[in-house]
Amino acid sequence: MPGAFDTGLGLVDRFCARVSGAALLGVAGLLLADVVGRSLGRPVFGAQDMAEMAMVVVIFGAVPLLEQRGGQIQVDLLRPFMSRRIEAGIGRLSHALAATLWFTLAWTLWQSAELSSMLSLSTNILGLPKAPFQYLLAAFVMIAGLGAVLRTIRAQRAEHV
């Protein structure tokens, strides 16, 4: 039976996926408007900047849900030759490694956002500040890291049951 943390993280994961989906729909609408506008000689000003920033949200917004559902690529060429115990140990190790990588990436993104904020970095055409997007990415990746920790705990519990 899932605990409160597990349920709460699942809700957050689905919210992140909805944000990602909304950004994808926004990009599709923006690009459609830009293409139609270009054919009429009136392109959408700053469409490239908006599309680039939204695509970052699309990609990283889906990461927590991917982590929760275990959607990473797995190569199991040696699986038939391993005992269940070794396979479970490798599974726990891979979940822990994924969590470490997600948390490291989140920390790096946070540091990058602070630097962008300090230097007032922005997009070329519209001058959109980059730091808020980087903070959002750091949050998405941190949520994915929490999901990887949860998967590590689940794998540990499943082995002891």
Nearest-5° Cα angle at 159, 154 to 161:
95
Task: Please determine, for residue 36, whether its predicted confidence score (pLDDT) is greater than 80.
Answer: yes
Q: Is pLDDT at 59 greater than 80 in this prediction?
A: yes
- Residue 94 phi/psi, 5-degree rounding, is -65, -35
CA 141 to CA 101: how far, in whole Å? 9
Report pLDDT for 1. 46
The pLDDT value recorded for residue 109 is 97
- Angle CA(50)–CA(45)–CA(38) in degrees, nearest 5? 110
| pTM, two decimal places | 0.82
Take residue 14 and report the two structure tokens written for it: 């689905």
Half-sphere exposure of 1 (CA within 13 A, CB side): 1
- pLDDT mean over 110-119: 97
- Residue of higher predicted confidence among 150 and 158: 150
- Alpha helix locations (H) across the chain? 4-39, 47-61, 63-69, 84-119, 131-160
Kindly indicate the confidence band of residue 132, based on its pLDDT and cuts at 50, 70 and 90.
very high
